[in-house]
């Protein structure tokens, strides 16, 4: 290229008259994985905008957009490598869901929204002590889901894990029900999927951000709980049924007890449809309860500031501890083995759950 033309292009780019090359802000990562299909996602930063006052820059914000490719006709229980053409460094792999009867491993964790150094330690721990086929996130990925500056930080920390396993997140209150969550993770507030002999149901428990009026929030929750009951009823042939949401129905955090009556109200349904275990975030610690055959786990130790576990519910408590954590679940045959870890690999608790006929 002639030097004069090169200098001209550089000048136009500097002046903002030609579009700058998009930068990778997140991914690639894979969502909505089934036995036969998967969606590859990546997030681009187109440059964004800058605010200034008195000639001094005070804030910049990236302009984020999502690209995706959907694949069908895949083979079950198969590892696929991927890359984005023209960008050989944008690559990774994922495994499709196995048919019933095949073993699998997944990791559950959440509340990664602050203390980025701690979030990174949790991801490092998962990479070292687990080999998940997929990831379940219990919500509150970032401190404010509407702030475009936070998502590239989240994706940067999660990059090594997201490039090796499918991703299934729940919506947390700090996502603010913002459109970024739906753009990045498939456009669904609540959904379900099958993996081997297990059925997973992901709920939207963040009622305050669903709608501005109580009537609209009540209507949303009535619709979602009808869907939930139908979903659990249709999943009775699965040997394990797991439910995931952000807000827990019970807690050892004294200042939060009784905060989520809509979730507490679901507990009889969990018992009726023989849910094996439920997983939550919101409380930044590890908690495990057992009531009428249903296990209740809170794994909200992904990086947010820790909360005390000072008033554990009587007669239900299996383990409560205020520490960063993640849960590794291995399902094989009619047994699910759950091991809760601290980021350094120290075991918090091991739980075995057997299939309920």
pLDDT band with cut points at 50, 70 and 90 for residue 276: very high
> What is the rounded CA–CA span in Å between residue 170 and residue 192?
11
- Give the pLDDT confidence of 94-120 residue by residue, as tens digits: 999 999 999 999 999 999 999 999 999
Residue 32 near residue 188, CB atoms below 8 Å: no
Q: Is the pLDDT of residue 258 over 70?
A: yes
Per-residue pLDDT, 8: 35
Residues 143-147 have a mean pLDDT of 97
Per-residue pLDDT, 10: 36
Q: Is the pLDDT of residue 355 over 50?
A: yes
Residues 39-44 have a mean pLDDT of 97
128 closest CA partner among 344, 340, 353, 356: 344
- Give the pLDDT confidence of 155-208 residue by residue, as tens digits: 999 999 999 999 999 999 999 999 999 999 998 999 999 999 999 999 999 999
- Tokens in use for 311? 């008033």
Q: Is the pLDDT of residue 2 over 60?
A: no
> What is the rounded CA–CA span in Å between residue 244 and residue 122?
20
Residue 35 near residue 98, CB atoms below 8 Å: yes
> What is the rounded CA–CA span in Å between residue 298 and residue 292?
17
Q: Is the pLDDT of residue 257 over 80?
A: yes
Q: Is the pLDDT of residue 20 over 70?
A: no
- Tokens in use for 148? 């475009």
Q: Is the pLDDT of residue 11 over 90?
A: no
Q: Is the pLDDT of residue 284 over 70?
A: yes
Query: In angstroms, how far is the first alpha carbon of the chain from the final one?
Result: 72
Q: What is the pTM of this model?
A: 0.92
- CB neighbour burial string for 25-64, b if at least 16 within 10 angstroms, e if fewer: bbbbbbbbbebeebbbbbbbbeeeeeeeeeeeeeeeebeb
Give percent of the chain above pLDDT 70: 94
> What is the rounded CA–CA span in Å between residue 29 and residue 139?
17
Residue, of 56 and 154, whose pLDDT is higher: 154
Instruction: Quickly list H helices, 47-163.
Output: 116-129, 150-162
Residue 77 near residue 54, CB atoms below 8 Å: no
pLDDT band with cut points at 50, 70 and 90 for residue 288: very high
Per-residue pLDDT, 21: 73
Sign of torsion over alpha carbons 228, 201, 261, 315: positive
Architecture in CATH for domain 71-354:
4-Layer Sandwich (3.60)
- Tokens in use for 12? 């136009």
Residues 276-298 have a mean pLDDT of 98
Residues 60-74 have a mean pLDDT of 94
6 contacts: CB under 8 Å, gap ≥ 6 = none
- What is the pLDDT of the chain when averaged over all its residues? 92
Residue 276 near residue 235, CB atoms below 8 Å: no
pLDDT band with cut points at 50, 70 and 90 for residue 220: very high
Domain boundaries, the chain: 71-354
């Amino acid at each position: 290229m002639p030097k004069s033309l090169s200098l001209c292009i550089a000048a136009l780019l500097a002046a903002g008259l030609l579009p700058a090359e998009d930068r990778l802000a997140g991914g690639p990562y894979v969502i909505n994985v089934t036995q036969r299909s998967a969606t590859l996602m990546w997030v681009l930063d187109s440059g964004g905008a800058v605010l200034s006052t008195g000639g001094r820059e005070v804030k910049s914000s990236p302009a984020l957009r999502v690209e995706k490719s959907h694949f069908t006709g895949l083979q079950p229980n198969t590892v696929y490598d991927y890359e984005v053409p023209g960008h050989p460094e944008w690559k990774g792999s994922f495994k499709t869901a196995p048919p019933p009867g095949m073993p699998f491993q997944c990791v559950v964790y959440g509340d990664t929204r602050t203390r980025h150094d701690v979030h990174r330690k949790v991801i490092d721990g998962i990479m070292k002590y687990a080999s998940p086929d997929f990831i379940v996130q219990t919500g509150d990925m970032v401190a404010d889901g509407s702030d475009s500056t936070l998502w590239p930080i989240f994706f940067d920390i999660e990059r090594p894990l997201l490039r090796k396993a499918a991703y299934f997140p729940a919506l947390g209150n700090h996502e603010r029900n913002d459109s970024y969550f739906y753009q990045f993770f498939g456009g669904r507030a609540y959904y379900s999927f099958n993996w081997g002999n297990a059925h997973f149901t992901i709920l939207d428990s963040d009622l305050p951000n669903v709608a501005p009026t109580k009537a609209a929030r009540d209507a949303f929750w009535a619709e979602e709980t009808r869907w939930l009951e139908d979903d659990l009823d249709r999943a009775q042939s699965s040997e394990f049924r797991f439910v995931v949401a952000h807000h827990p129905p019970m807690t050892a955090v004294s200042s939060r007890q009784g905060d989520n009556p809509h979730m507490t109200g679901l507990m009889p349904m969990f018992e009726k449809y023989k849910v094996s275990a439920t997983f939550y975030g919101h409380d930044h610690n590890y908690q495990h309860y057992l009531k009428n055959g249903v296990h209740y786990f809170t794994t909200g130790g992904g990086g947010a500031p820790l909360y005390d576990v000072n008033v554990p519910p009587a007669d239900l408590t299996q383990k409560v501890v205020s520490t960063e954590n993640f849960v590794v679940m291995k399902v094989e045959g009619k047994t699910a083995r759950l091991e809760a870890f601290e980021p350094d690999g120290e075991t918090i608790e091991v739980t075995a759950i057997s299939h309920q006929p």
